[in-house]
């Protein structure tokens, strides 16, 4: 069994390669996906969590991502640790144990980029990145990989200094700058990506110009929202997977509960798009929303790439 540090092969995990791997993986399909959450509530400290996300492509590969979330661990290291274990789906033999932050960061960005390859206008010229955390530079690079027409990127964050530092750190052959006016930047963007931890909507539907593509990454619980009801009301809504997104993410479950939409109003997921069951964007003026919720099937698809790269090296 290989022990793989994904951070050490990060340069080989380029976005064209990862996006294509996800496209092929969705065309093949996944036979089983599960999600298990175990929690330890503590009276005087934050709750600890263990998440286990397995997925299985029968007679091919299976694997599980294990994530520990210990927000009060008192260590100088991160409070979130991730390990992925990959098995041979034909005989059950363990193939690899994969760790490293790059695994999840790049998987998440490739998921969004695959959605944008179907939903963002082919001539999209400008991008707004809302949020300046660890995920943000990956979202920018991944979107630029599938839409090389993007020539400028604006970065907005609640902390202007953090937005400025991110903009200055990106070594890209395009113009990248920090902005203080979220509304003004949103009105001018062809692609808007939100990767925040906000609980209340930060993106307003009245700001969105016709033809904009919106990528929502940060809201991963029912109590979190990045876009308001008007955004959803004006847009064609797409998700990465129907089975997880509908009941677990506030940007979808919230509008459904409010009667703004029903689950049947979701136009397609990535399986539909990659298998040709839906064409994606259908007009230049169409506003599209893609909810990136993640999932064990995506981890399995990326683990295949990481394993093959590690084995070849």
pLDDT tens digits for 155-210?
A: 999 999 999 999 999 999 999 999 999 999 999 999 999 999 898 999 999 999 99
Q: Tokens representing 288?
A: 């599209």
Segments in 226-295 forming alpha helices (H):
229-234, 242-248, 250-257, 270-274
- Distance CA(53)–CA(297), nearest Å, equals 9
**How far is C-alpha 128 from the geometric centre of its chain's CA atoms?**
16
Q: Is the pTM of the predicted complex or chain greater than 0.85?
A: yes
**How far is C-alpha 238 from the geometric centre of its chain's CA atoms?**
13
Q: Which residue has the tokens 């931890």?
A: 197
pLDDT at 46: 82
What structural domains and CATH numbers belong to the chain?
A: 2-103+297-312 (3.30.1780.10), 109-295 (3.40.50.720)
CB atoms within 10 A of CB 256: 17
Low-confidence ranges of the chain (pLDDT < 70): 77-78
- Distance CA(56)–CA(34), nearest Å, equals 9
Report phi then psi at 157, rounded to 5: -150, 155
- Distance CA(57)–CA(55), nearest Å, equals 7
Q: Where are the beta strands (DSSP E) in the chain?
A: 2-5, 32-33, 36-42, 45-57, 61-69, 80-88, 94-99, 126-130, 152-156, 175-178, 191-194, 213-216, 236-239, 268-269, 288-291
| Helix%, strand%, coil% for the chain, nearest 5 | 35, 25, 35
pLDDT at 127: 98
- Segment 201-227, tens digit of pLDDT: 999 999 999 999 999 999 878 888 999
pLDDT at 310: 93
CB atoms within 10 A of CB 313: 10
pLDDT at 192: 98
């Amino acid at each position: 069994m290989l022990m793989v540090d994904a951070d050490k092969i990060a340069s080989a995990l380029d976005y064209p390669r990862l996006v294509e791997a996800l496209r092929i993986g969705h065309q093949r399909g996944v036979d089983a996906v599960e999600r298990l959450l175990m929690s330890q509530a503590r009276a005087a400290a934050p709750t600890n969590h263990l998440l286990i996300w397995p997925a299985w492509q029968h007679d091919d590969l299976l694997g599980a991502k294990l994530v520990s979330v210990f927000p009060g661990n008192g260590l100088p290291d991160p409070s979130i640790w991730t390990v992925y274990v990959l098995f041979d789906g034909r005989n059950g033999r363990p193939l690899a144990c994969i760790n490293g932050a790059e695994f999840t960061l790049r998987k998440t960005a490739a998921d969004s980029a695959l959605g944008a390859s179907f939903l963002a206008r082919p001539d999209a010229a400008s991008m707004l990145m809302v949020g300046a955390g660890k995920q943000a530079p990956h979202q920018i690079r991944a979107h630029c990989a599938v839409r090389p027409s993007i020539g400028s990127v604006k970065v907005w964050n609640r902390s202007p200094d953090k937005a400025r530092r991110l903009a200055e750190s990106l070594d890209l052959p395009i113009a990248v700058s920090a902005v203080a006016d979220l509304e003004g930047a949103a009105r001018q963007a062809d692609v808007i990506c939100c990767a925040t931890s906000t609980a209340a909507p930060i993106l307003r539907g009245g700001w969105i110009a016709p033809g904009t593509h919106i990528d929502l990454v940060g809201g991963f619980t029912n109590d979190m929202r990045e876009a308001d009801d008007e955004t959803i009301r004006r847009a064609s809504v797409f998700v990465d997977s129907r089975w997880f997104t509908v009941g677990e993410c506030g940007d979808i479950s919230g509008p459904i509960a409010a009667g703004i939409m029903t689950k049947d109003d979701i136009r397609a997921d990535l399986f539909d798009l990659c298998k040709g069951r839906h064409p994606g964007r259908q007009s230049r003026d169409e506003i599209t929303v893609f909810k990136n919720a993640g999932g064990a099937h995506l981890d399995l698809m990326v683990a295949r790439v990481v394993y093959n790269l590690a084995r070849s090296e």
